[in-house]
């Protein structure tokens, strides 16, 4: 099974105790990676699948808002993606807040974290490449940190970056700046305009056949993230329709007459979705079905 599509390196083992304790809770891909390979890093070292045992002893101190959260992934900046009940939560310790990354648990998380656009937006990759060029890639139990933390007025530039031990650095950030806050408390959400290039729901009259495709797309998305309104756009040149959920955290997909589809998170832009569709990239429908079933458990 391919975990990170662009390749990865094995950098450590995962104990049998961790697999036994969390194997049936995490997604199948995470469990398989733990069992058959171990701790992984992407080829450029930015995203890491870690051994939860590294951080479990301090999770109550560094993320008290989410008791029982399982630390699964880190970035080289020391930010975490944790599994909390049936969701993935992104904790950006550099900035002092957390936000829901995905409302369901599935192996799609590997694609989401590896996507370069998502890294530049949600994961805030920023000056990572410059830091690696100067300091080298952090080990699996390390991360980059700012000499003067951002919360204390430090600058987000490579000259302010050092390598630190991951666990100790996160404890330091929480001790100096406090536990991460909900993003909605830090920056209350506003009504979001439609992203440029998308059209409002119901415009660009659909044919009866296209309406059927759109309904199937809405059903797929609603099973994963229920309760959001939809936008729909005809893609006549692709013989497909583009369906997206409005609001923060909403997902999107392109679906065609034969049921083939391409799923994407809100981090992807419309043109990126269409470009990926044209290259032939598709999401197995079984992956979305499994993710929806897991959410209902």
Rounded mean pLDDT of 222-250? 83
Whether residue 90 has pLDDT greater than 80: yes
Query: pLDDT digits over 18-57, tens only?
Result: 999 999 999 999 999 999 999 999 999 999 999 999 999 9
23 and 124 assigned to the same domain: yes
Supply the pLDDT for residue 249: 61
223 and 268 assigned to the same domain: yes
177 and 130 assigned to the same domain: yes
Contact 114, 44 (CB under 8 A): no
Supply the pLDDT for residue 221: 87
78 and 177 assigned to the same domain: yes
52 and 116 assigned to the same domain: yes
Query: pLDDT digits over 112-134, tens only?
Result: 899 887 888 888 888 999 999 99
49 and 152 assigned to the same domain: yes
Supply the pLDDT for residue 297: 58
Whether residue 266 has pLDDT greater than 90: no
159 and 117 assigned to the same domain: yes
Q: Of 183, 200, 222, which marks where a domain is finished?
A: 183
Supply the pLDDT for residue 295: 61
Residue 157 belongs to a domain: yes
Whether residue 274 has pLDDT greater than 50: yes
82 and 49 assigned to the same domain: yes
**Top-confidence residue, 190 or 230:** 230
Whole-number Å distance between alpha carbons of 271 and 148: 38
Mean pLDDT, the chain, rounded, equals 86
Residue 233 belongs to a domain: yes
| Counted domains in the chain | 2
Residue 200 belongs to a domain: no
Supply the pLDDT for residue 296: 59
Residue 190 belongs to a domain: no
Query: pLDDT digits over 57-77, tens only?
Result: 999 999 999 999 999 999 999
Query: pLDDT digits over 2-13, tens only?
Result: 688 888 999 999
Residue 188 belongs to a domain: no
Residue 134 belongs to a domain: yes
Supply the pLDDT for residue 267: 62
Residue 3 belongs to a domain: no
Whether residue 241 has pLDDT greater than 90: yes
178 and 280 assigned to the same domain: no
110 and 250 assigned to the same domain: no
| 68-73 LR contacts (CB < 8 Å, sep 24+) | 70/22, 70/25, 70/26, 72/26, 72/30, 72/109, 73/47, 73/48, 73/49, 73/109, 73/113
131 and 257 assigned to the same domain: no
Query: pLDDT digits over 145-197, tens only?
Result: 999 888 777 888 889 999 999 999 999 999 988 899 998 776 555 444 444 33
Query: What separation in angstroms does the CA of 75 have from each of 34, 48, 92, 127, 245?
Result: 18, 6, 10, 13, 27
Supply the pLDDT for residue 82: 98
The domain of 17 spans 8-183
114 and 253 assigned to the same domain: no
């Amino acid at each position: 099974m391919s975990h990170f599509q662009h390749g990865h390196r094995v950098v450590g083992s995962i104990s049998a105790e961790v697999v036994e304790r969390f194997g049936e809770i995490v997604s199948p891909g995470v469990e398989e990676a733990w069992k058959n390979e171990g701790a992984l890093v992407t080829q450029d070292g930015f995203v890491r699948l870690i051994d939860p045992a590294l951080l479990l002893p301090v999770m109550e101190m560094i993320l008290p808002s989410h008791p029982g959260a399982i630390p699964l992934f880190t970035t080289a900046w020391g930010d975490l993606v944790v599994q909390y009940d049936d969701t993935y939560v992104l904790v950006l310790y550099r900035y002092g807040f957390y936000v829901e990354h995905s409302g369901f648990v599935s192996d799609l998380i590997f694609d989401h974290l590896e996507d370069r656009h998502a890294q530049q937006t949600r994961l805030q990759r920023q000056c990572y490449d410059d830091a690696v060029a100067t300091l080298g890639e952090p080990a699996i139990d390390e991360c980059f940190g700012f000499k003067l933390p951002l919360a204390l007025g430090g600058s987000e530039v490579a000259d302010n970056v050092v390598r630190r031990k991951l666990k100790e650095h996160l404890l330091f950030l929480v001790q100096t700046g406090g536990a991460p806050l909900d993003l909605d408390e830090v920056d209350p959400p506003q009504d979001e305009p439609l992203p440029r290039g998308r059209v409002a729901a119901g415009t660009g009259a659909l044919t009866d056949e296209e309406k059927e495709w759109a309904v199937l797309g809405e059903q797929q998305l609603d099973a994963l993230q229920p309760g959001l309104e939809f936008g729909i756009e005809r893609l006549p040149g692709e013989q497909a329709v583009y369906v997206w959920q409005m609001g923060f955290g909403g997902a999107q997909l392109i679906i065609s007459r034969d049921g083939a589809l391409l799923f994407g998170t809100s981090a992807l832009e419309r043109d990126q979705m269409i470009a990926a569709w044209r290259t032939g990239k598709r999401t197995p429908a079984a992956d979305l079905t499994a993710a929806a079933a897991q959410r209902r458990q």
